[in-house]
Amino acid sequence: MATSCLEVRSVSRRFGGLQALDACSFEVERQRSTCLVGPNGAGKTTVFNVITGFVRPDQGTIRYNGEPIHGRPTRDIVRLGIARTFQNLRLFAEMTALENVMVYLRDDDGTGPVEAILRPWRTGAALRRKEEAAQALLAEVGLGHKSGEVVRNLSFGQQKLLCIARVLATGAELLLLDEPTSGLSQSALTAMVDLVDKLRSQGRTLLVVEHNTRVVQRIADEILFLHQGRLIARGTPAEILGDPALAAIYFGAAA
């Protein structure tokens, strides 16, 4: 019997005249992969923003492992074990792949300015440790050979893989992936889906926004269907993807 680690309870959020989230409630179960689907503008990214503290909910509560996290700063939430990727990547374009991952590494060794100046050898050792850790993560997502490359010179598929390496670096237990496969070519898409599938089989907890139904079918244990800020359905892939009413909403709104 799976237990839930994240509990979202009647969370609402308004932007001006637009009700982006309307009393959303759901749980994410530990070591399972949950897909968040819905037409454009449904509020999927806003769900991520609310969970990770980038946007404050107007109402509702969010608990992670029983601890309330709504209204807390992003920093605390990441420390507690939730990390997210961005739909628009937000990589550090002028830095190398390795440095991108190093910035995201959880341990705070060598991140103090005074220590950096006064204890150069210790900081140098921390730097090397971080380089090794980051290198290992790059290898895990299949970018081991690209560690010295500046991000702007990577292909789009490689950049998206790098985003996954970065969230992994936070050491978070719950990973929120915002459209990991959108915009990818067929071969890059296969690599990404294989990676997400690997994370899933390693027993990580995933919440993934995904538009591609074939991908959803492959990686989802459970699906949440969001429409106009409301959670209108949840169930197994077979239940949701087989529901003609939901398909009408999805494709009707998408068209």
Partner 1 sequence: MSFLLSYLVLATIYSIAALSTNLLVGIIGIFSVSQAAIIGVGAYTVALLAGVVPFPVAMLVAVVLCALVNVLLALPSLRVAGDYFVVTSFGCQLVATAVFINWDTLTGGASGIVAIPAPSLFGFTADTPQTFLVISTIALLAACAGFWLLMRSPFGKIVHAIREDETAVLAAGKNVLRAKVSVSAVSGVYAGLAGGLYATFLNFIDPPSFDLHVSILILTMLVVGGARTLAGSIIGPFLLLALPQLLNLVAVPPTMAGPLRQFIYGALLIAFMLFRPQGIAGRRL
Ligand X SMILES: Nc1ncnc2c1ncn2[C@@H]1O[C@H](COP(=O)(O)OP(=O)(O)OP(=O)(O)O)[C@@H](O)[C@H]1O
- Give residues in contact with ligand X (CB under 6 A): 15, 18, 20, 38, 40-46, 87
CA distances from 160 to 113, 128, 148, 213, 216 (A): 31, 25, 16, 19, 18
CA distance 200 to 216: 13
Of 6 and 126, nearer to ligand X (C-beta) is 6
Q: Which is it for strands 18-29 and 33-37: parallel, antiparallel or unpaired?
A: unpaired
- Phi, psi (rounded to 5 degrees) for 69: -125, -5
Q: Residue 46 touches which of ligand X, Mg ion, partner 1, none (CB < 5 to 8 A by kind)?
A: ligand X
Question: Should residue 17 be labelled a site residue for partner 1 when binding is judged by CB under 8 A?
Answer: no
Q: CB of 208: closest distance to partner 1 in angstroms?
A: 16
The strand ranges marked E within 94-153 are none
Q: Residue 11 touches which of Mg ion, ligand X, partner 1, none (CB < 5 to 8 A by kind)?
A: none
Exposed e or buried b for every residue in 75-91, given b needs 16+ CB within 10 A? eebbeebbbbbbbebeb
Q: Residue 120 touches which of partner 1, Mg ion, ligand X, none (CB < 5 to 8 A by kind)?
A: partner 1
Of 43 and 237, nearer to ligand X (C-beta) is 43
State the binding string over 122-141 for partner 1 (x if CB under 8 A, else -). -x--xx--x-----------
- Nearest Cα neighbor of 5 from 23, 25, 31 is 31
Q: Residue 97 touches which of partner 1, ligand X, Mg ion, none (CB < 5 to 8 A by kind)?
A: none
Helix H, strand E, coil C: the string for 197-242 is HHHHHCCCEEEEECCCHHHHHHHCCEEEEEECCEEEEEECHHHHHC
Q: CB of 172: closest distance to partner 1 in angstroms?
A: 8
Q: Residue 201 touches which of ligand X, Mg ion, partner 1, none (CB < 5 to 8 A by kind)?
A: none
Choice from 4, 61, 74, 135 touching partner 1 (CB under 8 A): 74
Q: Residue 113 touches which of partner 1, ligand X, Mg ion, none (CB < 5 to 8 A by kind)?
A: partner 1
- Phi, psi (rounded to 5 degrees) for 79: -60, -35
Of 42 and 126, nearer to ligand X (C-beta) is 42
CA distances from 55 to 28, 49, 190 (A): 19, 5, 32
- Phi, psi (rounded to 5 degrees) for 18: -105, 125
Of 18 and 93, nearer to ligand X (C-beta) is 18
Radius of gyration of the chain (CA): 19
Question: Which residues lie near partner 1 (CB under 8 A)?
Answer: 52, 54, 74-75, 77-79, 83-84, 86, 90-95, 99-100, 102-106, 109-113, 115-117, 120, 123, 126-127, 130, 166, 169-170
